[in-house]
A and B are shown apart, each in its own frame.
Chain A
Amino acid sequence: MTQYTKPLPIPNDFDRPYWTALKKHELRMQKCLDCGEIWFPPNPVCPKCLSHNHQWIKLSGKGKVWSWVLFHQLYFPSFSEETPYNVIAVKLDEGPLMTSNMVECNNEDIYCDMLVEVFFDDVTELITLPKFRPAGRPKEV
């Protein structure tokens, strides 16, 4: 296996459960036990009511492409082989907006409001990234 050279997340004290869940192929985000808010990116307290009581709930992994772009400019040399590459902003069914990449789909076939589902990409032994693919494909084996 070749060395993975793209930027990697640096888990911190309060978002480590997010990355740990991804490693187990689960998309989990924080849900406030007092007001019910679900938020992303991870935060030490509920950004709506400042409650410290939250649970890392498992999400459906389903959502819609809010918007998408293609990077032609090379900001990260490690992306050079796939430039232009796509970046999507996914509006999850549970509410939060997250940044990701579309996989198993040609760039020219991406469109706004496209239905997508999470795809767990084990990029290193420690890190799994939540990517998305068109919804309704056969489940991964």
Chain B
Amino acid sequence: MKLIDIRDKTAIVGVGNTPFRALYRKKDPRRNSYTLGLEAFESALEDSGLCKEDIDGVIINRIPSYTKMCVMAGIKNPRLTNIFEAAGRMSGIALQYAAMAVYTGMANVVACIYGNDGWSAGATYGGESQMIDSYNFPFGMTSPGASLALMWQRHMHEYGTSEDDLGVLAISQRKFASMNPNAVMRTPLTMDQYMSARYICYPLRIYDYCLINDGGVCLIVTTAQRAKECKKRPVYIMGTSQAANHTPYYHSPDYGWDAMKLVADQVYSMAGVGPKDIDCAQIYDNFLPTVMLSLEGYGFCPKGESGRWIRGGRIEPGGELPVNTSGGHCSESYMQGWALHAEAVRQLRGECGDRQVNDCEIVQYICSSPICSSHILRR
């Protein structure tokens, strides 16, 4: 069956989030994903100008129970309710399901609510807290970061990219973060600091890893028609797509590029634009090599060229393709793609203050992981 064209038929009409910087400063075991999600929901509702009674769809992520969340938010009979597993790849997917729901009329207005108390709860993403993996743990292999380290090591070998290419990216994202009052890490970074930082899993250093934090984000999605009645300028979903890369390990010898190509082909074709039309990109940076592999996988630059391509200010403030304009997961806060979505919306509305990209009309979100997803959003 042919893909139904939903270009510009759905929109994000509200975004909200908790503070990130303040929450990072002090852990608090009483904090939980429900209260963080609720705070973000209230803020997104206010931002949209809608009232609670307008919300008839709820999708939650990383919050354990939709019933409890909906009880707390006083949403008793939503026509659509669902939960996505607590993985960062699900932020883009939640938005897709919300868009499909409002387009088909399964719901009129969907609130996508995310809450994460991982910082206060002491979340780790590797080691013995995870379920035993007989083919990896006995060798000390654990964590998705180590898989990205394997892929980056191989990429350096195959293409001649280098460790300091990642430094260029880290420094650029930090420049944006220095202009973001809500970013956790705002002090500018130098290449010397980057290169002398400790390794977590060689060849990756601490600056290549996202900042685990507490926080909440909420997006409110409705139809393009309904969006016109909302308080702020709608942000339309021009195109969206996903394709999985299900392999035995988090790393794969083709870097996940076959899945990225499937996503890129569909998202660009649905939106009717290409990489050259993108004014800024929000690219999932659980670990910085993910951004490099994505730039190559989506055709922003040829395979193996990302290291050279990002140099000379191209991805920095004022550059040709500003990337991760909030500072991203490695400098703003690890909100598993959700805060990258909020940043995309705010850039398109022109709400980003010092870090605002001039004449920002089209933004792309990209997440490369075991499920790859991408959207192209416009104002």
Contacts and interface: CB of A to CB of B under 8 A. Distances in A.
Nearest to B158: A112
A72 interface: yes
B112 to A, nearest CB: 32
A75 B199 contact: no
Interface in A72-104: 72-73, 75-76, 79, 84-85, 87, 89, 91, 97-101
A112 B136 CA distance: 19
Interface stretch (B79-87, B146-154, B160-168): B146-154
A7 B128 contact: yes
A99 B142 CA distance: 10
B272 interface: no
Interface string B184-200: 00000000000000111
Nearest to A84: B202
A89 B134 contact: no
A66 B252 CA distance: 10
A7 B150 contact: no
Chain B interface extent, by class: 20 to 34
Nearest to B130: A75
B146 A71 contact: yes
Contact of A10 (B134, B139, B143): B134
A129 B138 CA distance: 8
B258 to A, nearest CB: 16
A76 B137 contact: yes
A7 B136 CA distance: 9
A85 B157 contact: no
Contacts of A87: 139-141, 146, 150
B367 to A, nearest CB: 23
A85 B201 CA distance: 10
Contact of A69 (B137, B203, B249): B203
A99 B141 contact: yes
Nearest to A87: B141
Nearest to B149: A69
A84 B199 contact: yes
Contacts of B251: 67, 89
A60 to B, nearest CB: 19
A123 B203 CA distance: 28
A41 B247 CA distance: 10
A9 B131 CA distance: 11
Nearest to B142: A75
Chain A contact residues: helix, strand, loop or mixed: loop
Contacts of A15: 134
A104 to B, nearest CB: 15
Contacts of B123: none
Contacts of B128: 7, 75-76
A66 B253 contact: yes
B249 A97 contact: yes
A48 B249 CA distance: 17
B132 A101 contact: no
Nearest to B140: A79
Interface in A10-28: 10-12, 15
Contacts of B253: 66, 91, 97
Contacts of B138: 6-9, 123, 127, 129
A27 B108 CA distance: 57
A99 B202 contact: no
Contact of B201 (A40, A71, A99, A100): A71
B142 A76 contact: yes
A67 B154 contact: yes
A89 B150 contact: yes
B319 interface: no
B126 interface: yes
A131 B140 CA distance: 12
A68 interface: yes
The 3 closest A-B pairs by CB, nearest first: A9-B134, A75-B127, A7-B137
Given A7-B138, A69-B204, A84-B199, 7 more contacts: A41-B135, A69-B203, A73-B201, A76-B127, A97-B253, A99-B141, A99-B249
Interface of A: 6-12, 15, 40-41, 66-73, 75-76, 79, 84-85, 87, 89, 91, 97-101, 111-113, 123, 127, 129, 131
